[in-house]
Amino acid sequence: MSDARETAFVEFERVQKSYDGETLVVKDLNLSIAKGEFLTMLGPSGSGKTTCLMMLAGFETATHGEIRLKGREINNIPPHRRGIGMVFQNYALFPHMTVAENLSFPLEVRKVGKSEREERIKRTLGMVQMQDFGGRRPAQLSGGQQQRIALARALVFEPELVLMDEPLGALDKQLRETLQFEITNLAHELGITTVYVTHDQTEALTMSDRVAVFDDGRIQQLAPPDELYERPDNSFVAQFIGENNTLAGQLTQMGDHRCLVKLDDGATIDAVPVNVSKPGERTLVSIRPERVEIDPELGPDAHTLDAEVLEFIYMGDVFRTRLRVAGRDDFIVKTRNRVGQKRLTPGQHVKIGWLPEDCRALNG
């Protein structure tokens, strides 16, 4: 998505939002979304992601800055004229209307003729595999079914942009996974641009073309899921996305692609410098649990650390081992359950190590 900026479909430029005139909930937001892109806004609650979505939908007005849709500023266009489809957190299906009437509503207000309405409703219900449910009321549907209808209603008037505000939050895990898959497929099939808000990182990683990680009113990192996971820009992103081990230390030596970090207990390790600049700085070193090897057979220049096994958990496909490393008790190592994999016992002393490129020195 490197060409996002050239073909920007949705643009936020220096957008700020304050409710009370004292604090900013959205601070200086700049974001470009390409046509057909599936972008997820991920962040803890209160991070400003939903506010951004609401500003895009037109239910909140930006205090400062510009929001553009297809190059046109939409700050002062009321929501009903923006032509954006939206799926709400609790679906917001009109309880007094049947499924078909719910779907018919956006077409009626657009003065679509009756036969075409019926045709489109049928087609859209088919897309979400709910063609037999047109006569039911929302209350007669299960949560997943309601979710499908909400999606269908947001799609039935063929919007180019669809916003989804934590649409799967109320569903159980299995159903959620099915629907994640269906939604992304549908979005890509129809070529719709989607902005998706969630606080569930798995959802964000599995569905999105790009993920914008929000915290404290800012985008901390905007990147495709793999990059986000493997190359977090800062310790917040590293912590927020997936499981992560951090070790605190001081930068001692700085190279182009390598640096040396002296941990607080005196050991020295190699790391990739991400947002550190000069020796002497405090830094947090981040290593994913599945990239750590126990008793590694690495090159002589690789650094290893001593560790003591505190806990060993059998989790089926993986083993999860908690170690004491460099004075910390919460160092996790995940190993695959494969033939011959060692099972450690608490109290055992081992050596651990990793490839230097898996270890990232982040801001302290």
Partner 1 sequence: MTDATQGPDAKTGVTPDTGLRIVEEELAGPVLAADGTPLRRSLNKALRRQKLRALALIAPLLIFVLVTFIAPIADMLFRSVENQIVSETLPRTVVALRDWDGEGTPDEEVFRDLARDLVIAAELKNHTRLGSRLNYETTGASSLLRKTGRGVDDIGEELTDQFIALNPAWEEPATWIALMADEGWIADQAEWAAEKEAAQGPFTTREPAFRLRDGVAEMLPRTADIYADFARLIQTEDRDSPTEEEPWNIVYQALWEDLTLGPVTLPEDEPLLAEAAVAAPTFDALSVTDAFVDMDRDWADPELWGTIKAFSGKYTAGYFLAAADFQLTADGIAAQPEDRQIYGLLFGRTMFMSLTIMVSCILLGYPIAFLLANLPMRTANILLILVLLPFWTSLLVRTSAWKVLLQQQGVINDILVWTGIVSNAGRLALINNQTGTIIAMTHILLPFMILPLYSVMKTIPPSYVRAAKSLGATNFTAFRRVYFPQSVPGIGAGCILVFILSIGYYITPELVGGTTGTFISNRIAYHISSSLNWGLAAALGTILLVVVLVLYYLYDRIVGIDNVSLS
Burial class (CB in 10 A: 0-12, 13-18, 19+), 99: buried
Stretches 89-97, 189-197, 238-246, 308-316: which one binds partner 1 (CB under 8 A)? 89-97
Per rule CB under 8 A, is residue 171 in the interface with partner 1? yes
Stretches 126-134, 246-254, 289-297, 300-308: which one binds partner 1 (CB under 8 A)? 126-134
Burial class (CB in 10 A: 0-12, 13-18, 19+), 362: buried
Per rule CB under 8 A, is residue 45 in the interface with partner 1? no
Per rule CB under 8 A, is residue 22 in the interface with partner 1? no
Q: Which of 3, 22, 71, 78 binds partner 1 (CB under 8 A)?
A: 78
CA dihedral for 241, 244, 250, 256, sign (positive or negative): negative
Q: Which of 14, 30, 59, 343 binds partner 1 (CB under 8 A)?
A: 59
Q: Which two tokens stand for residue 292?
A: 């750590």
Per rule CB under 8 A, is residue 130 in the interface with partner 1? yes
Stretches 39-47, 52-60, 226-234, 243-251: which one binds partner 1 (CB under 8 A)? 52-60
Per rule CB under 8 A, is residue 145 in the interface with partner 1? yes
Q: Which two tokens stand for residue 185?
A: 């497929």
Q: What residues contact 132, with CB distance under 8 A and at least 6 apart?
A: none
Q: Which two tokens stand for residue 146?
A: 């309601």
CB-CB contact of 166 with 225 (8 Å)? no
Of 256, 325, 253, give the one whose Cα is nearest residue 294.
Answer: 325
Per rule CB under 8 A, is residue 296 in the interface with partner 1? no
Q: Which two tokens stand for residue 96?
A: 């007094």
We find the least distance from the C-beta atom of residue 57 to partner 1, in angstroms, to be 6
Per rule CB under 8 A, is residue 160 in the interface with partner 1? no
Q: What residues contact 91, with CB distance under 8 A and at least 6 apart?
A: 138, 146, 147, 149, 150, 167
Q: Which helix (H) or strand (E) holds 204?
A: helix 201-207
Q: Which of 84, 183, 213, 285 binds partner 1 (CB under 8 A)?
A: 84
Which position has the token pair 């290593």?
287
We find the least distance from the C-beta atom of residue 265 to partner 1, in angstroms, to be 51
Q: What residues contact 151, with CB distance under 8 A and at least 6 apart?
A: 87, 128, 167, 183, 186
Size of the site for partner 1 (CB under 8 A): 41
Angle, to 10 degrees, between the axis of helix 143-155 and the axis of helix 114-127?
A: 130
* Main-chain dihedrals φ then ψ at residue 78, nearest 5 degrees: -65, 155
**Please, which residue, 43 or 58, has the CB nearer to partner 1?**
58
Per rule CB under 8 A, is residue 144 in the interface with partner 1? yes
**Please, which residue, 141 or 223, has the CB nearer to partner 1?**
141
Chain mean position to CA 168 = 14
Per rule CB under 8 A, is residue 95 in the interface with partner 1? yes
CB-CB contact of 332 with 252 (8 Å)? no
We find the least distance from the C-beta atom of residue 88 to partner 1, in angstroms, to be 5
Per rule CB under 8 A, is residue 312 in the interface with partner 1? no
Per rule CB under 8 A, is residue 94 in the interface with partner 1? yes
Stretches 12-20, 68-76, 125-133, 209-217: which one binds partner 1 (CB under 8 A)? 125-133
We find the least distance from the C-beta atom of residue 164 to partner 1, in angstroms, to be 11
Per rule CB under 8 A, is residue 77 in the interface with partner 1? no
| CA terminus-to-terminus distance, the chain | 30
**Please, which residue, 21 or 266, has the CB nearer to partner 1?**
21
Q: Which of 1, 77, 175, 254 binds partner 1 (CB under 8 A)?
A: 175
Q: Interface with partner 1 by CB under 8 A: which residues?
A: 57-59, 78-86, 88-90, 92, 94-96, 105-106, 109-110, 129-133, 141-145, 153-154, 157, 163, 171, 174-175, 178
